[in-house]
Amino acid sequence: GAVVSQHPSWVICKSGTSVKIECRSLDFQATTMFWYRQFPKQSLMLMATSNEGSKATYEQGVEKDKFLINHASLTLSTLTVTSAHPEDSSFYICSAAASGGFYEQYFGPGTRLTVT
């Protein structure tokens, strides 16, 4: 149980375009989902916390207008990288916490974004 999927697993886009990444909890309802960014050989940096039906909370230094997060249902959160630039190239990972189980997060497999 507690499976989280992400789509796509990798994407290449041109500079200036937007890319949407989906995060789904497959077998549980996720009140809260988290979006992380992982640079090569580095740790996961939390970008934002999203709660179903409300606005996401962004970490300091993360541009909310660039990284749009929508948590439309208890099983789906999306991250849209708008007007992508090469410096946005990274590995984006989502996680989900089950309703009532906020202390444990289940991680998706990640999405590798390359902006050319």
Partner 1 sequence: AQSVSQHNHHVILSEAASLELGCNYSYGGTVNLFWYVQYPGQHLQLLLKYFSGDPLVKGIKGFEAEFIKSKFSFNLRKPSVQWSDTAEYFCAVIPPSGTYKYIFGTGTRLKVLA
Q: Which stretches of the chain bind partner 1, using CB under 8 A?
A: 4, 32, 34, 41-46, 49, 93, 95, 97, 102-110
Please, what is the minimum distance in Å from the beta carbon of residue 9 to partner 1? 10
**Could you give the 3-state DSSP secondary structure of residue 86?**
helix
Residue placing its CB nearer to partner 1 in the complex, 75 or 95:
95
Count Cβ atoms within 10 A of the Cβ of residue 112 and give its class: 0-12 exposed, 13-18 middle, 19 or more buried. Answer: middle
Q: Where do runs of H (alpha helix) occur along 15-108?
A: none
Residue placing its CB nearer to partner 1 in the complex, 6 or 78:
6
Residue placing its CB nearer to partner 1 in the complex, 38 or 70:
38
Please, what is the minimum distance in Å from the beta carbon of residue 56 to partner 1? 13
Query: How far is 86 from 106, CA to CA, in rounded Å?
Result: 29
Residue placing its CB nearer to partner 1 in the complex, 19 or 110:
110
Please, what is the minimum distance in Å from the beta carbon of residue 74 to partner 1? 16
Based on C-alpha coordinates, what's the Rg of the chain? Answer: 13
Pairing of strands 67-73, 10-13: unpaired
Please, what is the minimum distance in Å from the beta carbon of residue 93 to partner 1? 7
Token pair listed for 105 = 């997060």
